[in-house]
Amino acid sequence: MGTLLRDGATLHMTDTGEGLAVVFQHGLGGGEAQVAQTFPAGFRRITLECRGHGGSGLGKRRPFSFEIFADDVLAAADRAGLDRFVAGGVSMGAAIALRLACRHPRRVAALVLVRPAWTFSPAPQNMQPITEAAELILEHGADKGRTIFARSDSATRLYREAPDNLSSLLGYFDRPDAKEFAQVLADIAGDGPGVCDRDVAALDIPALVVGNAMDAVHPLSSAYTLAAAMPRAVFAEITPKARNSARHFIELHEQIGSFLQSNSNARSLIPS
């Protein structure tokens, strides 16, 4: 693992494996460990832990935004010596990858979007539970905020409809840096990738979009919307983590691995 210094923020970067280069990003609150679980072996993977995530510092720039995070990731690709690469990620990482593809089309050769939470608008309704959790931490602190959230209508609904989401949300309250990280949560949940449907429709590159049911934060409708918007996208629905976590990751590895293998000989995907 290496480091990248950006605007006073020391960011942790992983460059592992060999073969086709894929810049693959974690979700909101995740980090290298999440990506290592999500991404299959057999490829070169570059992951930057975004500001406030994993071992990366917060830095001084505020508010936190997809613009900042995406620019940091592009700098990591530069550090890795990549001119052209596959961009991908899960949830927030998928939105970062989509922004990179639309803003830097010469750099991104293909997309892998796993459980996208954002499409074309900032602060989507599905991010409201995260905004709620962040506001409770900022106003009441982690312990009291957790108690209030656990009794909320949002928690009751997620317990019934998407227990994996609820587990992740409660984890935000348990972080040792909960107060500091809550601002990251609030800023990113209220932001968006800064792309429109026309931008995405203009992406003439292979794309894989993966979604699953039983997920209120990453609704299948978001995955459907993005897959339908991209002319060369394929869509895959896999087993929900909330139903069978082991099967979820097996199927996810199969989908990503198959997509990358089937496109690895394409001239446009060979990194320069």
Statement to judge: residues 64 and 37 lie in one domain: yes
- Check: CB of residue 130 under 8 Å from CB of residue 106: no
For residues 44 and 19, what is the distance between their CA atoms, to the nearest angstrom?
5
In terms of C-beta density within 10 A (0-12 exposed, 13-18 middle, 19 or more buried), how is residue 95 classed? buried
35, 67, 202, 232 from 106: Cα distances, Å: 25, 18, 13, 17
Kindly state the tokens that stand for 223.
């995955």
Statement to judge: residues 58 and 129 lie in one domain: no
> How many structural domains comprise the chain?
2
Statement to judge: residues 52 and 158 lie in one domain: no
Boundary of a domain, candidates 188, 208, 233: 188
Statement to judge: residues 54 and 93 lie in one domain: yes
Statement to judge: residues 132 and 212 lie in one domain: no
Question: What's the CATH code of the domain at 16?
Answer: 3.40.50.1820
Q: HSE on the CB side for 225, CA within 13 Å? A: 15
- In which residue ranges of the chain is pLDDT below 70? 266-272
Boundary of a domain, candidates 188, 214, 239: 188
- Check: CB of residue 43 under 8 Å from CB of residue 260: yes
Kindly state the tokens that stand for 69.
């995070």
Statement to judge: residues 140 and 9 lie in one domain: no
Statement to judge: residues 95 and 14 lie in one domain: yes
Instruction: Say what the pLDDT of residue 143 is.
Output: 97
Determine the structural domain holding residue 183 and report its residue range: 125-188
For residues 46 and 159, what is the distance between their CA atoms, to the nearest angstrom?
34
Q: How many CB atoms lie within 10 A of CB 34?
A: 21
Statement to judge: residues 83 and 217 lie in one domain: yes
Statement to judge: residues 88 and 144 lie in one domain: no
Statement to judge: residues 22 and 101 lie in one domain: yes
Statement to judge: residues 230 and 158 lie in one domain: no
Instruction: Say what the pLDDT of residue 265 is.
Output: 72
Statement to judge: residues 11 and 138 lie in one domain: no
Boundary of a domain, candidates 148, 164, 188: 188
